[in-house]
């Protein structure tokens, strides 16, 4: 009876060890995949927040550079005339 108990225990522990090893392997693969994903996202974030990218996005949205801005004279006089209307 004792020998049977020992054999069953060894078989059980072997199965548990193999199952834990397979699960550990899965988790290691998942970790590597997540680390690659984080690295790719970090690169995407750095690219998206670069001044060049921000400038390109601003231009696409219709913002202009200061070379394209036209200043109108007599702004103070206009502002004063508008203030007196209130």
Distance in angstroms (rounded) separating the CA atoms of residues 46 and 75: 40
Q: Reply yes or no on whether the pLDDT at 11 is more than 80.
A: yes
Read off the pLDDT band of 6 (50, 70, 90): very high
The tokens describing 34, both together, are: 């997540």
Instruction: List the single range of 7-11, 13-17, 78-82 with lowest mean pLDDT.
Output: 78-82
Give the list of residues 6+ apart from residue 65 with CB closer than 8 angstroms, or none.
Answer: 59
Q: Residue 56 sits in which domain range?
A: 2-84
Distance in angstroms (rounded) separating the CA atoms of residues 62 and 42: 28
Q: How many separate domains does the chain show?
A: 1
pLDDT, tens digit (0-9, with 9 covering 90-100), for 18-74: 999 999 999 999 999 999 999 999 999 998 889 888 888 888 998 877 776 677 666
Yes or no: say if 33 and 41 are a contact pair by the CB < 8 Å rule: no
Distance in angstroms (rounded) separating the CA atoms of residues 2 and 55: 78
Q: Reply yes or no on whether the pLDDT at 17 is more than 80.
A: yes
Report the pLDDT value the prediction gives residue 85, as an integer from 0 to 100. Answer: 59
């Amino acid at each position: 009876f004792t020998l049977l108990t020992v054999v069953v225990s060894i078989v059980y522990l072997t199965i548990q060890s193999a199952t834990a090893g397979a699960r550990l392997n899965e988790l290691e693969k998942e970790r590597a995949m997540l680390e690659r994903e984080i690295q790719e996202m970090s690169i995407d974030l750095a690219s998206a927040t670069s001044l060049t990218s921000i400038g390109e996005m601003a231009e696409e949205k219709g913002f202009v550079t200061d070379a394209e801005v036209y200043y109108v004279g007599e702004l103070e006089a206009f502002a004063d005339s508008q203030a007196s209307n209130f």
